[in-house]
Structure 1
Amino acid sequence: MGVLPVSAADGTVMDQLVSPRATFDGFTPETQWSMAQIAYFRSYATWHYLAEPYLFTSPGVEVEEVEPWTEHGQTWRVLRVTFPDTLDTHSRTQLYYFDEAHLLRRMDYEPEVNGQTPVAHYIRQARTFDGIVVPTQRHVLTRLDDGTPDLSWIPITLDLGNVKVL
């Protein structure tokens, strides 16, 4: 990726990154991000969330079904997805958990942009817009060594509404 500028409403460049991903090298969960780094993260992450699982069909993406996962009495099918370097993602390899209705319920990954902290990313609600099911409420929790989430706090939430499919 080239230059990522962040502009004010009047077009003034407020911050910019050259090769955005490389600017996170050596970051830990405590490292402060610049405005442009926040914009980069939010942009690729939101796009990725809205395009899943359609991204699995992109060139260079490898998908493999692995052992199922049982959580709260439900058994979910699990896909291990490895993304090529050409797609900006949280981490190259991620796990995706699907319920009996084939809806995405959880994702596991280790974000490269903040020290690779293991997370369990849950889809708490989904709604249908123009015939397409869209996850509308997400909670991202840290993941313990046994694969279970740390339920003591929710560091990231994402709520979507008024989705328009064009």
Structure 2
Amino acid sequence: MNKIAEDIINAHGGLHTWLKFRQVSATLNQGGALWGLKGKGGILDHTTVTVATDVQWASHAPFGTIAARSDFTTHRIALLDGDDEVISALEQPRDSFAGHALDTPWNDLQLAFFAGCAMWTYLNTPFVLAWDGVECEDAGTWQENGETWRKVTVRYPDSLEVFSKAQALYIGPDGLVRRLDYDVEIAGNTPGAHYVTDYTTVEGIRFPTRRVIYPRQPDGQRMAEPLVVSIELSHITLS
């Protein structure tokens, strides 16, 4: 972990505090155009999400009326019933997205994979910068919302399942993440600009409770519409 990562992590509560916990759980409310575009509107609008902090694992419970919960890991996705029996599962789920564009419909396991990968990454940011193989470096400054943000490029190792191996974080004057940029490889490399606001403190850790994602233009500016995804988190707990 270099000095850039250390500074960002310290602003969010520090690695020492983060390592006391193994899971983050929150009530999740979602909206935006993506879910209907993929033919999966309403399934994960209101649920609970839980992610691990020491391994790559996430779960949404319930998974609509389809399953009691989902089970996302780096190389597998599954849907489970109330007795934790497997309803359906897929090994190497990323391969199933070959040839997908933004408007390609998903099946239930693909939705579970996308949602699990997304929420694991979001709730572990920026502490994932301390993981082995994750690299970050300064990429200059960026002007937005009347502030000067520090842009930091991030590269993830092949050992982690993320939307794209090359991403960017934008850091506000207070050291907190303001925005994330990535190209969603499993949706035709669709470029997104992901904004985080409304921070709260839980057990000494700073979490944004509101996220909105818009298309990103070639010059880095966001498009005003459509709102691709909206996320609101409440009742955040660490254990």
Q: TM-score, normalised by structure 2?
A: 0.66
Partner Cα separation in structure 2 for residue 2 and residue 165 of structure 1: 25
Decide whether the 8 Å contact of 1:67 with 1:77 is kept in 2: yes
Decide whether the 8 Å contact of 1:141 with 1:151 is kept in 2: yes
What is the RMSD of the two structures over their aligned residues, measured on CA atoms?
Answer: 1.4
Moved over 3 A (4+): 10-14
The residue type paired with residue 143 of structure 2 is T
Decide whether the 8 Å contact of 2:215 with 2:225 is kept in 1: no
Instruction: Structure 1 unaligned segments of length 5 or more: list them.
Output: none
Name the structure 1 match of 2:34: none
By relative contact order (CA 8 Å, sep 6+), the higher-ranking structure is 2
Q: Does 1:118 align with 2:203?
A: no
Against the structure 1 CA distance between its residues 70 and 33, is the aligned structure 2 distance closer, same or farther, given a 3 Å change threshold? same
Decide whether the 8 Å contact of 1:110 with 1:119 is kept in 2: yes
Against the structure 1 CA distance between its residues 27 and 44, is the aligned structure 2 distance closer, same or farther, given a 3 Å change threshold? same
Shift of the alpha carbon at 1:54?
0.9
Name the structure 2 match of 1:4: 77
Partner Cα separation in structure 2 for residue 35 and residue 15 of structure 1: 9
Q: TM-score, normalised by structure 1?
A: 0.94
Shift of the alpha carbon at 1:126?
1.3
Structure 1 segment 1-166 matched on structure 2, within 5 A: 1-11=74-84, 13-166=86-239
Question: SS of 1:69's equivalent?
Answer: strand
Instruction: Structure 2 unaligned segments of length 5 or more: list them.
Output: 1-73
Structure 1 residues 93-117: Cα deviation after superposition (integer angstroms, max 9, x where no partner): 0010010000000011001111111
Shift of the alpha carbon at 1:71?
0.9
Shift of the alpha carbon at 1:15?
2.8
Q: Percent same amino acid among aligned pairs? A: 34
Structure 1 residues 68-102: Cα deviation after superposition (integer angstroms, max 9, x where no partner): 10013210001100000111111000010010000
Shift of the alpha carbon at 1:37?
1.0
